[in-house]
């Protein structure tokens, strides 16, 4: 058996499948891997600062990273435990390393996007290694990495400063640490730590716990360190996660306010981690079993995900089901068990997406590496059954059209042009830059301005700063802003800086009427400037009192 | 005035506590690593095993049995030594007792006479009447009485595995090592509230931590089931009669000479012992060990160790009981500070970290309980983990108390030998499996 240079010391021991001899990639593993990582960088970095438009959530995480570095707090507003903070703590660490901090790459969110590009390259490397260790196939890893880096769905969301991207990093790191040396307790403790960080970055990583534990169990159950491996992994993960609860407890923000009201006889004016968790758990929308617009799973699948890239979704889902069947049939065999684990990773996250809770369209992000993993595994497995020459032909025949479909398209006039992320004519963040420049040149710095989080850091950090600029979310929800500062009175608002589709977001956030006073301001406002391209529109409005 | 002074002191106090917490956390994490070392390193785990096939007996052994007021168990111990599966002409058993200990002398003499009547003539009684009356002095006296190639020590309460000399004969000849430390294991894990924790300390020390020390060539040896080529003892000039832990001291001196030590902890061949029967006895035993370590530290033989890493490891090891005491005593202090002094949240979280490590230590012990019991064919009751949980912190406080007591005794220059009583509790357990391969 030929041993790959990058898998030295690993000869297959019955727990993991032994490395395959793959004529298609033999001797080319290193250049192919380096080429793939270069491609991963290129697809994600190319015009990452121009497309897509900065999202509200990106602005929120940059804003919170700014608060970490400048205010030593988790948010410039009241931190309401809506997400655990490990994501923006990591983001803040990255920004702290940059000489010009938030202004290193122009507009402030670009600092975060640069980090996402670096992270994607790391994630691709981890995904390749995970697939390789899981199956013994370098080809599987390279194919998974290729799909993960080329899919337009991935390219679109993985450039954005999203907690999901950071969570994917920790999950892949956790999987890799289990697979890289399952014989050592210390790497398994490291894996538990990484998994704990994944949960503290975004809580939905919890849905992957059974699969990761199953993998750990399969690899260690017959080893001398089985008990320490499993208990150590679990302890480390729980210990890391518990720091979040400890933080809340130390701030006296852990227990439900209702409990304190019951015990003390008056309702406290504070947030509560438990209250937020219960609220999150109670938020329901239609599950995937209810086909139609009421289910966010189908709404996003049909409205956003499939239009962006049906290919990865289709082949990834088909491969997941195929791997599930193959894996269940032959789970006693390490190679088949690996396919089962890959399938379960996809399915576990699909359960999360389909279970019917409130979600946003970028929640698909953690599914993408697992779909790519399953497709890579299934594909490499199939190619292996073919003679080498036939294998090369099949690979070329399938991959070349895929690359073409993912990089160019015919526009409405029937002209061939690059797909949106690579189209030099689409400069959506440029509109936001113009909007910021307009505010800077034309609005007084002491004005009270309501806008969106996407430009928050730019208006608060870069001089002249606008300290009374607040997002409509905080202006409507945080009592410190809505009641103490604005007193829910539209007349206290001077300007509105509207992001794309901001009125839709205000509508969604207005189930209890807390945004009403901002709508009133909108009704009393007139347009000062509009910046638009296609159906993307940004405005600056003056409130007439 | 008082409150403003307190407010002034709060800042530096918090900074000091944060720094101390971080140091203690690092120390405790390192300890967890040492405890898990064998399980972490597949190679160490493989090396810990005894050889599967034994060589024919070739080396001659002197089995030294130092005893003091061991009337209750000495006859059994002699019998265990006689029962070792090794040709009698290659073994010499020397019981060494201070001449004033007439009870032990009489019981030992009695058994030797019985054995001689059955043709067993390789057991001898040696007495000494000069000062100091302690184990290292007895060992030096006994050593001078033998010319056999390998010298080993067993304590009066030891339950010796019959194949132990085969293990050492094979290991020494196969690997050419001059010193072999075999496993010693307390067995009576369910005797009282602290016995499981005490048993597990031995388990982790011999099964895991000593392998780390052996690999790094800086090892405090155990007091028994340790085997020396006689030239090693001659070169060192015997055991230090002024040291309360002559075993740790001789280990450091051997390390300073650069001699390799092989550690064999194979669950099948461990020497079985008992936990001290009372808390008082336990504290006295721990005080003696902690003080002995401090004496060894002060003596400074560790300075002769060849590398800085070894010297640092020696300092860490010898000061370990004191560091462990600090951790146990500090946790309540840090919790008190968190709840009674207003401090930044990050500082409060750092002050919690040692508590996490204490929890990790406990969990490792709990897993160790099941490792230990399954290795020895035992089954803990459902109450054992609960007893461990309830006893865990009090046990750490006992260790802390003993470490402080040892430090005070050392500072006051009190260094008499506080002997541990033995009642043979471990001998009520199942008979050892005869597993000569």
Locate the chain B residue with the closest alpha carbon to A249: B345
**Mean pLDDT over all residues of chain A?**
91
Is B363 in Cβ contact with A183 (below 8 Å)?
no
Q: At what angle do helices B2-40 and B308-340 cross, to 10 degrees?
A: 130
Q: What is the pLDDT of residues B222-258, one digit of tens each?
A: 999 999 999 999 999 999 999 999 999 999 999 999 9
Please give the residue of chain A at the shortest CA–CA distance from B355: A239
B339, closest residue in chain A (CA to CA): A250
pLDDT for the residue B415: 73
Query: What is the reported pLDDT for B342?
Result: 84
Q: Is the dihedral of CA B140, B142, B145, B148 positive or negative?
A: negative
Range with top average pLDDT, A102-111, A270-279, A288-297, A505-514:
A102-111
A458-484: pLDDT as tens digits:
999 888 899 999 999 999 999 889 988
Tell me chain A's radius of gyration from C-alpha atoms.
25
**Best mutation site among B31, B207, B343, B367 for testing chain A: the one with the most A CBs within 10 Å?**
B367
How are strands ordered across the β-sheet holding A469-471? Answer: A469-471, A449-451, A495-498, A536-543, A525-533
> Rounded to a whole number, what is the distance in Å from the CA of B243 to chain A's nearest CA?
37
- Mean pLDDT for B32-37 is 95
CA atoms of A121 and A134, how far apart (whole Å): 20
What is the torsion angle, in degrees rounded to the nearest 10, for the CA atoms of residue A59, residue A63, residue A64 and residue A70? 160
Place B427 in a pLDDT band, splitting at 50, 70 and 90: low
How does residue A320 score in pLDDT terms, banded at 50, 70 and 90?
A: very high
- Averaged pLDDT for residues A247-266: 85
Residues of B in contact with A235 (CB under 8 A): 359-360, 363
Tell me the mean pLDDT in the region B404-424: 76
The least confident of A153-157, B13-17, B30-34 is B13-17
> What sign for the dihedral angle of Cα A147, A152, A153, A157?
positive
Residues of chain B contacting A231 with CB distance shorter than 8 Å = 363, 366-367
Of the candidates B45, B348, B367, the beta carbon closest to that of A227 is on B367
Spatial separation of the C-alpha atoms in residues A380 and A374, rounded to whole Å: 10
**Predicted ipTM of the assembly:** 0.88
Q: How close A135 gets to chain B, by Cα (Å)?
A: 23
Q: pLDDT tens across B37-46, in order?
A: 999 998 888 8
pLDDT for B396 beyond 50: yes
* Digit-coded pLDDT (tens) for A338-379: 899 999 999 999 999 998 888 888 999 999 999 999 999 999
Give the residue numbers in B contacting A (CB under 8 Å), as ranges.
33, 36, 39-42, 45, 338, 344-346, 348-349, 352, 356, 359-360, 363-364, 366-367, 370-371
Determine whether the interchain pair B39/A228 forms a contact, defined as Cβ–Cβ distance below 8 Å. Answer: yes
CB spacing of B40 vs A184 below 8 angstroms? yes
Taking the alpha carbons at both ends of chain A, their separation in whole angstroms is 80
- C-alpha distances in angstroms, B393 versus A158, A323, B256, B354? 48, 49, 36, 13
- Residue pair A237/A194 in contact (Cβ under 8 Å)? The answer is no
pLDDT at A191: 97
Block residue for tokens 């799909």? A147
pLDDT in tens, A59-77: 999 999 999 999 999 999 9
Give the per-residue pLDDT at B420: 60
Instruction: Determine contact, residues B266/B50, Cβ cutoff 8 Å.
Output: yes
- Give Cα B242 to chain centroid, integer Å: 19
Is A184 within 8 Å of B41 when comparing Cβ atoms?
A: yes
- What residue spans of A202-225 are helical by DSSP H? 209-220
Taking contacts as CB-CB distances below 8 angstroms, the residues of chain A near B345 are 247, 250-251
**Separation in Å, CA of B33 to nearest CA in chain A:** 8
**Half-sphere exposure for A476 (CA within 13 Å, toward CB):** 23
Q: Which of A9, A186, A191 to mutate to test the interface with B (most CBs of B within 10 A)?
A: A186
Confidence of residue B431 (pLDDT cuts 50, 70, 90): very low
- What are φ and ψ of residue A469, in 5° steps? -90, 125
Instruction: Tell me the per-residue pLDDT of A70-114, one tens digit each, with 9 for 90 and over.
Output: 999 999 999 999 999 999 999 999 999 999 999 999 999 999 999
Model confidence at B7, in pLDDT bands (50, 70, 90)? Answer: low
Residue recorded with tokens 């073919």: A386
A203-238 confidence digits (pLDDT tens): 999 999 999 999 999 999 988 899 999 999 999 999
Interchain pair A247, B345: CB under 8 A = yes
Tokens for A54, please give them.
């900065």
pLDDT of residue A284: 77
Instruction: Tell me the three state secondary structure of residue B244.
Output: coil
**The pLDDT of residue B436:** 31
User: What local confidence, expressed as pLDDT, does residue B232 receive?
Assistant: 97
Determine whether the interchain pair B363/A227 forms a contact, defined as Cβ–Cβ distance below 8 Å.
Answer: no
**Average pLDDT along chain B:** 90
Least confident of A22-36, A81-95, B163-177: A22-36
Which residue among A227, A232, A243 places its CB closest to the CB of B371?
A: A227
For chain B, the 3-state helix, strand and coil shares in percent, each to the nearest 5, are 60, 10, 30
Q: Judge contact between B195 and B395, C-beta under 8 A.
A: no
In tens, the pLDDT along B279-322 reads: 999 999 999 999 999 999 999 999 999 999 999 999 999 988 87
How far A225 CA sits from the closest chain B CA (Å)? Answer: 5
Average pLDDT estimate for A123-139: 94
Torsion A246-A247-A252-A256 (CA) sign = negative
Residues A436-447, mean pLDDT to the nearest whole number = 96
Instruction: Look at residue B429 and tell me whether its pLDDT is greater than 60.
Output: no
Locus of tokens 């506590």: B17
For chain B, say whether A227 makes contact (Cβ under 8 Å): yes
Please check the confidence at residue A7 and state whether its pLDDT lies above 70. Answer: no
Q: Which of B33, B360, B370 sits opposite A235 (nearest CB)?
A: B360
Phi-psi category of residue B225: left, alpha or beta, with phi > 0 → left and psi -120 to 50 → alpha: left
**Residues B203-216, mean pLDDT to the nearest whole number:** 95
Between residues A218 and B323, which one has the greater pLDDT?
A218
pLDDT score of B5: 59
Spell out the residues 6+ positions from residue B199 whose beta carbon is closer than 8 angstroms to its own.
Answer: B185, B186, B187, B188, B189, B275, B372
Shortest Cα distance from A224 to chain B (angstroms)?
A: 7
pLDDT tens digits for B113-147? Answer: 999 999 999 999 999 999 899 999 999 999 999 99
Given A185, A232, A246, which is nearest B352 (Cβ)?
A: A246
Question: Does the beta-carbon distance from B345 to A250 stay under 8 Å?
Answer: yes
H or E segment at A528? Answer: strand A525-533
The pLDDT of residue A8 is 33
Distances (CA, A) of A238 to A337, B33, B139, B338: 27, 19, 51, 21
Name which of A224, A231, A246 is nearest B363 (Cβ-Cβ): A231
Chain A residues inside the 8 Å CB shell of B338: 250
Average pLDDT on B71-84 reads 93
Q: Give contacts of B35 with chain A, Cβ < 8 Å.
A: none
Among candidates B41, B42, B349 on the partner chain, residue whose Cβ is nearest the Cβ of A243: B349
């Amino acid at each position: 058996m030929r041993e790959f240079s990058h898998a030295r010391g690993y000869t297959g021991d019955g727990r993991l499948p032994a490395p395959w001899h793959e004529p298609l990639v033999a001797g080319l593993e290193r250049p192919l891997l380096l080429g793939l990582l270069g491609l991963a960088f290129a697809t994600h970095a190319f015009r990452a600062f121009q497309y897509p438009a900065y999202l509200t959530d990106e602005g929120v995480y940059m804003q919170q990273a700014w608060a970490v570095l400048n205010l030593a707090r988790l948010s410039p507003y009241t931190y309401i435990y809506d997400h655990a903070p490990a994501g923006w703590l990591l983001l803040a660490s990255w920004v702290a390393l940059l000489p010009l901090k938030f202004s290193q790459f122009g507009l402030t969110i670009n600092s975060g996007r640069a980090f996402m590009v670096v992270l994607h390259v790391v994630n691709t490397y981890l995904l390749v290694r995970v697939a390789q260790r899981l199956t013994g196939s370098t080809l599987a890893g390279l194919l998974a990495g290729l799909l993960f880096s080329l899919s337009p769905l991935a390219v679109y969301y993985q450039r954005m400063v999203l907690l999901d991207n950071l969570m994917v990093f920790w999950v892949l790191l956790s999987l890799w640490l289990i697979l890289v040396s399952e014989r050592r307790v210390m790497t398994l403790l490291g894996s538990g730590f990484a998994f704990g960080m994944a949960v503290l970055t975004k809580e939905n990583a919890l849905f992957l716990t059974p699969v990761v534990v199953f993998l750990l169990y399969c690899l260690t159950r017959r080893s001398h360190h089985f008990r320490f491996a499993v208990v150590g992994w679990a302890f480390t993960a729980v210990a890391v996660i518990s720091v979040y609860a400890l933080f809340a407890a130390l701030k006296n923000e852990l227990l439900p306010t209702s409990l304190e009201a019951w015990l003390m006889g008056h309702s406290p004016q504070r947030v509560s981690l438990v209250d937020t968790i219960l609220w999150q758990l109670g938020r329901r929308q239609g599950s995937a079993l209810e086909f139609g617009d009421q289910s966010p799973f189908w709404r996003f699948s049909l409205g956003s995900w499939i239009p962006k890239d049906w290919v990865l979704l289709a082949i990834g889902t088909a491969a997941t089901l195929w791997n599930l069947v193959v894996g269940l049939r032959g789970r006693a065999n390490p190679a088949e068990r690996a396919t089962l684990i890959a399938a379960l990773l996809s399915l576990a996250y699909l359960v999360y997406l389909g279970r019917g809770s409130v979600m946003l369209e970028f929640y698909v992000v953690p599914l993408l590496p697992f779909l790519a993993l399953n497709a890579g595994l299934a594909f490499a497995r199939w190619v292996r059954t073919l003679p080498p020459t036939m294998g090369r032909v099949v690979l070329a025949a399938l991959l070349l059209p895929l690359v073409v479909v993912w990089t160019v398209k015919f526009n409405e006039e029937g002209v061939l042009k690059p797909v949106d992320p690579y189209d030099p004519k689409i400069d959506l963040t440029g509109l936001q830059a113009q909007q910021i420049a307009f505010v800077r040149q034309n609005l007084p710095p002491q004005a009270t301005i309501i806008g969106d989080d996407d430009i928050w850091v730019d208006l608060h950090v870069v001089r002249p700063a606008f300290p009374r600029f607040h997002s409509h979310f905080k202006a409507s929800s945080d009592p410190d802003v809505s009641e103490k500062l604005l007193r829910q009175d539209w007349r206290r608002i001077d300007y509105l800086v509207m992001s794309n589709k901001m009125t839709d977001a205000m509508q969604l956030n207005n189930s209890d009427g807390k945004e009403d006073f901002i709508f009133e301001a909108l009704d009393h406002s007139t347009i000062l400037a509009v910046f638009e391209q296609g159906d993307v529109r940004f405005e600056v409005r003056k409130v007439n009192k | 005035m008082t409150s403003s002074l307190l407010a002034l002191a709060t800042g530096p106090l918090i900074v000091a506590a944060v720094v101390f917490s971080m140091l203690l956390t690092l120390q405790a994490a390192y300890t967890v690593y040492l405890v898990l070392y064998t399980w972490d390193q597949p190679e160490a785990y493989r090396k810990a095993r005894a050889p599967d096939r034994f060589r024919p007996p070739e080396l001659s052994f002197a089995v030294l049995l130092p005893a003091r007021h061991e009337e209750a168990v000495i006859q059994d111990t002699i019998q265990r030594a006689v029962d070792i599966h090794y040709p009698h002409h290659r073994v010499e058993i020397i019981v060494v007792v201070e001449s004033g200990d007439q009870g032990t002398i009489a019981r030992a003499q009695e058994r030797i006479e019985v054995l001689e009547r059955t043709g067993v003539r390789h057991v001898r009684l040696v007495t000494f009447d000069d000062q100091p009356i302690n184990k290292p002095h007895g060992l030096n006296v006994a050593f001078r009485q033998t010319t056999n190639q390998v010298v080993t020590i067993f304590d009066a309460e030891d339950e010796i595995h019959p194949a132990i000399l085969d293990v050492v004969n094979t290991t020494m000849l196969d690997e050419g090592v001059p010193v072999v430390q075999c496993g010693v294991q307390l067995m009576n894990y369910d005797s009282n509230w602290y016995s499981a924790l005490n048993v597990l300390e031995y388990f982790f020390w011999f099964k895991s931590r000593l392998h780390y020390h052996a690999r790094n060539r800086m090892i405090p040896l155990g007091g028994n089931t340790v085997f020396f080529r006689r030239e090693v003892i001659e070169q060192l000039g015997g055991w230090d009669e002024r040291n309360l832990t002559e075993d740790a001291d001789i280990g450091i001196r051997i390390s300073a000479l650069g001699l390799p030590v092989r550690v064999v902890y194979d669950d099948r061949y461990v020497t079985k012992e008992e936990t001290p029967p009372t808390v008082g006895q336990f504290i006295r035993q721990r005080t003696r060990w902690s003080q002995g370590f401090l004496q060894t530290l002060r003596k400074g033989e560790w300075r002769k160790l060849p590398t800085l890493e070894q010297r640092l490891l020696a300092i860490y090891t010898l000061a370990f009981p004191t560091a462990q005491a600090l951790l146990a005593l500090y946790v309540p202090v840090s919790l008190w500070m968190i709840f009674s002094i207003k401090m930044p949240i990050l500082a409060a979280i750092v002050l919690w970290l040692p508590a996490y490590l204490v929890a990790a230590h406990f969990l490792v012990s709990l897993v160790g309980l099941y490792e230990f019991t399954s290795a020895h064919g035992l089954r803990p009751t459902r109450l054992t983990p609960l007893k461990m949980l309830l006893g865990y912190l009090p046990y750490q406080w006992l260790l802390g108390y003993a470490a402080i007591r040892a430090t005070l005794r050392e500072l006051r220059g009190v260094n008499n030998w506080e002997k541990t009583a033995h009642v043979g509790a471990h001998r009520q357990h199942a008979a050892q499996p005869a597993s000569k391969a």
